[in-house]
Structure 1
């Protein structure tokens, strides 16, 4: 059994499109590759398979691909520092 790796992502705006989040978090090389990943049915948003490639992801949501989880935080969330 492998442990899930976690990526903490600080959101600078109101939302980020799912395919772009996958690219920015380093899970794929481009937005196009992110769209293909979503279309393959392996991406889950808050535990549910998401097939909308440009689904808006907001602070507080989590995205999982395989054994990697991306937790999305707002830059203004207390206790997180914007870098």
Structure 2
């Protein structure tokens, strides 16, 4: 598994991320506080804070694909 840190500044950004995540054939999860949230679930997205770094967990095979370039605008460290 690979982890990346993202931050959202608006509900619209969370919706954009969800759209991208839902196009992926692999699981995408947020690790926030002590919870693991499904990034493809609207209920999970309601639990995310704005203006706070959140960890995204991806399978190793996903870290090399276009997903990272698609979510680059949300990454806290785009060069990671």
Q: Which has the higher helix share?
A: 2
- TM-score, length of structure 2 as denominator length: 0.37
Larger radius of gyration: 1
Which structure has more relative contact order (CA 8 Å, sep 6+)? It is 2
- TM-score, length of structure 1 as denominator length: 0.37
Q: Which has the higher strand share?
A: 1
